[in-house]
Amino acid sequence: MKNKVLGIIGGGQLGRMIALSASHLGVKSYVFDPSNNSPAFDIASKIFNYKYDDIEAIKKFSESVDSVVYEFENIPINTAKIVESICPLRPSAKVLEISQDRLIEKEFLSNIAKVKTADFRNCPTIQDLESALKDFNYSAILKTRRFGYDGKGQIKINNNINPEEVWKTLEGHELILEKFIPFKRELSIILARSEDGKTEIYDCVQNKHKNHILDETIAPAPNLDIKVEEKSKHIALRVAKALKLIGLLAVEMFEMHDGNIIVNEIAPRPHNSGHWTMDGCVTSQFEQSVRAAIGWPLGSSKRNYDIVMKNLVGNEIELFNSYINEPNYKVYLYGKKEVRDGRKMGHINRIIKKNSNTYEFKS
Ligand code: ADP
Ligand code: MG
């Protein structure tokens, strides 16, 4: 059997965990990232330390691997298209193009996938912003169309806001205004789809944020109404199908007080809210992404344990001392050289017997 080589664009913790999973299947990883101390470089068989728009480097990289995945959405679309002209890119450049721009993504979700999203308005000018604010009764969130993550590039709007001031704060970016959604809680679902259209879908989980950064994922989502769970899975599958997805997809959703589900955003890659699958499921989200990319059958996404996943953000990395020797807690560190505020340094999975109705991270 010829050993496969997976190309990974982006060498952060997600790229690192994809590479680790690839290694369990005897698949080598070549990692492409412009930063010279990327966490995934420690794991890679070969590193490509070039800028994402270095066409010659991206061509060489694509020619040296069997297929390519990416760990984040902000890759130049031209780069993705070049990769795709040489080898399979999973998910496709088309999916990347949709998910890297909130306006295109929301239009796709509501018009093509036909799932519910927050009401939204494109705001190319301040006049558009002013009229959109009126439409939404000044209860809204202004977001940059591109490059936002962990709540960055977002301003929550309220009644006494001065449109000129918020416009100035985000000036120079293309903007979208979203109606504020008074949700009950945040849920997400991860699924994988293979070349032959087979899907594996993980259980719906609840996400809790701190300072706009994911703090905890509770898997499965506590006390989730069976009908709401079915609805959320149905929606995730519908989006994947509309995208003609091959690869991994995360769907962030809002659960409403009346049981309705509204899609917040999608990510065509492993997602922080899927780290629980590393200890909760037969096949982790990372392995699933490798399998889908390489063209192998997907693994089972069956849940064997309930998990509470706690992110170690910034100084929280020190928590690892308290848990490193605790039974039922699995500690992961990403090998980042410098601790910074708001930086994801690692995570811990609390492993809980299935269906024991335990939703806390602390025992
Ligand atoms: P990011 O790329 O930063 O994750 P999101 O669009 O997911 O961007 O927004 C970050 C968080 O802000 C969400 O997880 C949610 O808590 C809140 N949020 C985003 N959009 C809305 C909205 N329309 N209404 C209410 N809350 C929102
Ligand atoms: Mg989000």
pTM of the predicted model over 0.95: yes
- In short, whether 153's Cβ falls inside 6 Å of ligand 1 is no
Measured distance CA(264)–CA(252) in Å, rounded: 5
Distance 265 CA to ligand 2 centre (A): 6
> Which protein residues have their CB within 5 A of the ion that is ligand 2?
252
Find the 151 Cα to ligand 1 centroid distance in Å. 7
pLDDT tens track of the chain, all 363 residues? 678 999 999 999 999 999 999 999 999 999 999 999 999 999 999 999 999 999 999 999 999 999 999 999 999 999 999 999 999 999 999 999 999 999 999 999 999 999 999 999 999 999 999 999 999 999 999 999 999 999 899 999 988 889 999 999 998 999 999 999 999 999 999 999 999 999 999 999 999 999 999 999 999 999 999 999 999 999 999 999 999 999 999 999 999 999 999 999 999 999 999 999 999 999 999 999 999 999 999 999 999 999 999 999 999 999 999 999 999 999 999 999 999 999 999 999 999 999 999 999 999
Domains of the chain, earliest start first: 5-89 (3.40.50.20), 119-179 (3.30.1490.20), 185-352 (3.30.470.20)
Please give the full DSSP string across 118-141, using - where no structure is assigned.
Answer: --EEE-SSHHHHHHHHHHTTT-EE
Whether 181 is in the pocket of ligand 1, judged by its Cβ within 6 Å, is yes
CB 275 within 8 A of CB 289: no
State whether the beta carbon of 215 lies less than 6 angstroms from ligand 1.
no
Residues contacting residue 241 through CB under 8 Å, at least 6 positions apart = none
User: Does any ligand 1 atom lie closer than 6 A to the CB of residue 147?
Assistant: no
Among protein residues, the one with the nearest Cα to ligand 1's atom 10 is 151
| Integer CA distances (angstroms), 223 to 181, 208, 252, in order | 21, 15, 18
Here the tokens at position 312 are 């170690």
Which atom of ligand 1 is nearest the CA belonging to 148? 2
Kind of pairing between the strands at 5-9 and 28-32: parallel
Tell me, using a 6 A CB cutoff, whether residue 320 lines ligand 1. no
Integer angstrom CA distances of residue 257 from 3, 183, 194, 281, 319: 50, 7, 34, 29, 34
- CA 178 to ligand 1 centroid distance, Å: 10
Alpha carbon distances (Å) from 271 to 108, 170, 267, 283, 328: 20, 26, 7, 15, 23
Give the residue whose CA is nearest to atom 1 of ligand 1: 149
Residues 350 and 328: beta-carbon distance below 8 Å: yes
